[in-house]
Amino acid sequence: MALAFAIGVGSQNTKNEWLEVFYQKPVYQPTSDLMDAAKVAGYEGGNQTIELDGDKLTALADKLTGEQAALAQALTASKKPTVLVVLESDAQAQSTPEVYLKLQLISHRLVKPHGIDLSGIFGLLPNVAWTNKGAIDLAELPAAQLESRLQGEVLEVNSVDKFPKMTDYVVPTGVRIADTSRVRLGAYIGEGTTIMHEGFVNFNAGTAGTSMVEGRISAGVFVGQGSDLGGGCSTMGTLSGGGNIVISIGENSLIGANAGVGIPLGDRCTVEAGLYITSGTKVAVLDDKNQLVENVKARDLAGKADLLFRRNSQSGAVECKTNKTAIELNEELHANN
């Protein structure tokens, strides 16, 4: 089964290079009928990016049905460049429109983080001035600023980045986002999630749903259902230090204010406010009677459930309290040894 089909409208610079593309109704795992319809626009198989003119859009509209036909027909009146992207497989992207499609598949909740190949995307994403008049090539920004001034207007540059904010492309159902500039395109925001003003969600990261986010969800991090991130807390992304470890937060867990994690957390875990745990952090593991079971590195506790990480107020040592008995925990820690 093919990966994706999408008709989009976007922005190009004066060299006809793509800056960004908006796909209103991307299709994940398109039917054979959609793949066949793409042939009238010049699709020949594989992964292909096809720039569309009025004739190709009209031909597509005649061949397609339903929402896709209506979208193709609407785009025939566009004054901005339009494009068809067909992805037969999840190979590494070869064009800017392909990257934008993959990012929007995640933000539309059609694909979860790590569910699609995003390797090599940085080389295909131009650094763009995101303004109140859309995306502008940085080399062309001074001329655009002057033109706006001559018309008695001010061109507002909201950010200079490779990634735009998600809500300019996708607003998922059932979410609250207090500051939309802090959620990048390619984020997956599950239904029921609230992102407060200090919350941040990077691309290829997000929440399964029903979470309160007042901290940072870094690239590659996925937060399970019912878990909360306290104010100012942080999760170490897969981009940090070039690491490949995927950091995740299990269900019904809590990272306290100004705390942080650099290991995957299991379900029903808590990290005390102000405590940052990295993979090499030395941890004294205590049983349900506060007896020392073993001294380990935090990486040995990665993914395990029902853990409370705290700092001893007297010794300063990092401790991990569990509701398991000493025997049960020892067996779990050494199960793979």
Q: Active-site positions?
A: 214
Both tokens assigned to 21: 């593309």
C-alpha to C-alpha distance for 53 and 220, rounded to whole angstroms: 37
Phi, psi of 136 (to 5 degrees): -130, 135
The contacts of residue 251 (CB under 8 Å, 6+ apart) are 208, 224, 225, 226, 227, 267, 268
Distance, in Å, from the CA atom of 172 to the CA atom of 124, rounded to the nearest integer, reads: 25
Q: Contact 266/303 with Cβ under 8 angstroms?
A: yes
